[in-house]
Amino acid sequence: MNGKTVTINSRELSLSNLDKDMYPPYGFTKTRLLEYYSLIAQFMLPFLEGRALTLKRYPQGVDRDFFFEKRCPQHRPAWMETAEVPYGEKKVITYCMANNLESLVWLGNLASIELHVPMAKADSPGNPDSMVFDLDPGDGAGVLDCARVALIVRDLLSGLKLESFAKTSGKKGLHVFVPLDPGKTTFQDTKTFSRAVAAIMQKKFPGLVTARMNKEYRRNKVFINWSQNDASKTMVCVYSLRAVEKPSVSFPVSWKDLEKTASQKDPGKFQVLAPEASALAEKKGGFYRELLGMKQRLPHTWA
Amino acid sequence: MMMQHGKAKAARSNGKKTESAPHEAPAQGIWSGTVSFSLVAIPVRLVKLVEPGRISLHLLHAKDFSPLERAMFCPEEEKIVPQEEIIRGFEIEPGKHVLITGEELESVSPERSRTIEITEFIDIKEVDALYYDHPYFLVPLKGGEKSYRLLAEAMHRTARAGVAKFVLDDREYLVVIMSRDGALAVSTLHYSDEILPENALAPAAEASEENVIKKTIQGMMTGFTPEKYSNDRREKLLSIINKKVKKRAEVEAPEPEEEEAAEGVADLMSALEKSMRATKKGT
């Protein structure tokens, strides 16, 4: 059975290619992808809500061609909520939003394996509600190096009375988020701040950290990608599947667990796969919810 | 990833004027009207005879692959000048211009013509090859087939070509209409004042030297077979593109390169330094 019509919240969706293996040869069909997003929806939706989505679609599975899609497809159902957000100076793009389960399932049916979200909500696209440190290991470095950097960044921030939250990228990196008050924050603020942090980290830990994009500088080091703090950038949403060999997901890690895993030196523990994710989110993901609505302010001494 | 590219391109060029149309189907009409002489008017469509071999590459911003747009820059003020502040001038001496308004330009633009009016017939051999510019075909429209064929045949038999003036895209062209294999071909011609005088270029040669060169040329003579030559650069570039498309070479935009550490944030830096010192004790 390759297609099927389902009703979610009294809205009809026709699902297609359900037997298609999205992660060959691992074996994770579109049915399982949709099941995953349905189960994780209660944890994930709060992080998607009100945000202009960038879809990373893999119609033929993760080992084949993909494309980024910002424009919400024309053939979307009438109930699909969208947001008009400026793109560059002159253009406005109509984005999909996933504000409810049926939207998430509809997007999953488009083989949108990865869902990426901006740092700001669509109704105020110039005002980020968080700042991110995208920790990306270069060749020769790994998630354990990212964990070391994440812990230093956490301490550095807490010295400035800023709380932060970590999640795995679902690949090899870690993302450290600092929730902020969007009413008091611009991308200029988050960019200046994160860039300064990256610069000082590079200065103090030159063997571990680089703030430079260039691949040659990244070998054996963790690249702190501060430039993600930009209105035009998106980060993979927490709980989103990643298009790697296995259906791994971007998943919250508490600082306690992160310290523990880092000291055990077991990088495998950072990987969370879709089948275990919803049970684990139930058990361990609760803390990450605090990120939402925590309205911190960046120190304005420098503004 | 090809798909991403294609999509982005299609979506972004929506409603936007493109300067060249290299992908235009060969038989697509670019103009339709009548070709006329004396009392005869033949309804025709103008189609391009050659597809220019140009491969159009888009200019992208390296950091995020956004397609770039052209903007006018004022070096005096070091800023981009908006459309409404741009006027035209003809330089009469360095730094001095006479202004030409949009209305003035419009007043000299020829009216779009619906006819290619043949005013004279000439011997086609009289046209110097230097004058030929862009070739097109005329295709007869409904009702014009018979007179089209008659004209083409008569011109073929007499080796005559028609001369006409004709407006395409705001420009008035001098064209010749020729018969080729039972069809009518059109070529735009350069105006004579566009062609540089050659007497200034040609130095005098000694007769003896000329004989040597004549002999060499004789030895290199062959028939003209254009199939022998291909646009090598185009072929090579196409092969690179195809290889990349096949290999799914990265089309995802990289992250931007950062500059040196932020300036003018001394207070922030010292606050971070302070926090860092406290932190470093623990690690």
- Residue B189 maps to a domain: yes
pLDDT in tens, B80-134: 888 888 888 888 878 788 888 888 877 777 777 788 888 888 888 888 888 888 8
Inside any domain, residue B40: yes
Residues in A touching B252 (Cβ below 8 Å): 68
Q: Measure the CA–CA gap between A149 and A66, rounded to whole angstroms.
A: 31
pLDDT at A248: 97
Q: Which residue has the tokens 């040597």?
A: B212
Q: Which of B255, B273, B278 sits opposite A213 (nearest CB)?
A: B255
Question: pLDDT exceeding 70 applies to what percent of chain B?
Answer: 78
Identity of the residue in A67, A225, A232 whose CB atom sits nearest the CB atom of B64: A232
Q: Bigger pLDDT: A52 or B50?
A: A52
Give percent of chain A with pLDDT exceeding 70.
98
Q: With respect to residue B146, please indicate whether it lies within any of the assigned structural domains.
A: yes
Cβ of A66 and B4 within 8 Å? yes
pLDDT tier, B22 (very low <50, low <70, confident <90, very high otherwise)? very low
* pLDDT for residue B16 is more than 50: no
Note whether residue B84 is domain-resident: no
Give pLDDT, residue A90.
Answer: 78
DSSP-based three-state secondary structure for A80: coil
Domain for residue B233, yes or no?
A: no
Residue B15 has pLDDT above 70, yes or no: no
The conformation of residue A228, written as its DSSP 8-state character, comes to: G
Asked if residue A251 has pLDDT above 80, the reply is yes
Both tokens of B33, joined, read 């009207």
Domain ranges, residue B139:
23-53+101-201
The pLDDT of residue B219: 80
Whether the CB of A69 is below 8 Å from some CB of chain B: the reply is yes
Chain B residues lying within 8 Å of A71, measured CB to CB? 11
Please say whether the beta carbons of A112 and A36 come within 8 A.
no
Q: Give the model's pLDDT for residue A301.
A: 45
What is the per-residue DSSP string for A146-167?
HHHHHHHHHHHHHTTT---EEE
Rounded to an integer, what distance in angstroms lies between the CA atom of residue A185 and that of residue A303?
Answer: 11
B117 within some domain: yes
Mean pLDDT value of segment B178-206: 79
Q: How many domains does chain B have?
A: 1
- The mean predicted confidence, pLDDT, of chain A is 93
Does residue B262 form part of some domain?
no
Whether residue A266 has pLDDT greater than 50? yes
Chain B residues within an 8 Å CB radius of A159: 274-276, 278-279
Is A228 touching B (CB cutoff 8 A)?
A: yes
Question: Domain containing B150 — which CATH number?
Answer: 2.40.290.10
Look at B4 and A67 and tell me if their CB atoms are within 8 Å.
yes
Q: pLDDT averaged over chain B?
A: 75
Contact across the interface for B272 and A196, Cβ inside 8 Å: yes
Is A67 close to B7, i.e. CB distance below 8 A? yes
Cβ atoms A208, A222 nearer than 8 A? yes
| pLDDT band at residue B252 under the 50/70/90 scheme | very low
For residue range A274-292, what is the model confidence (pLDDT) as tens digits?
A: 999 999 999 998 999 999 9
Nearest CB neighbour to A192, from listed B11, B265, B274: B265
Residue tagged 């730094």 (tokens): B95
* Structural domains of chain A, ranges and CATH numbers in brackets: 3-118 (3.90.920.10), 130-232+251-293 (3.30.70.3300)
Question: Quick check: A58 and A22 in contact, CB under 8 A?
Answer: yes
Q: Which of A67, A71, A211 sits opposite B1 (nearest CB)?
A: A67
Residue B85 lies in a domain: no
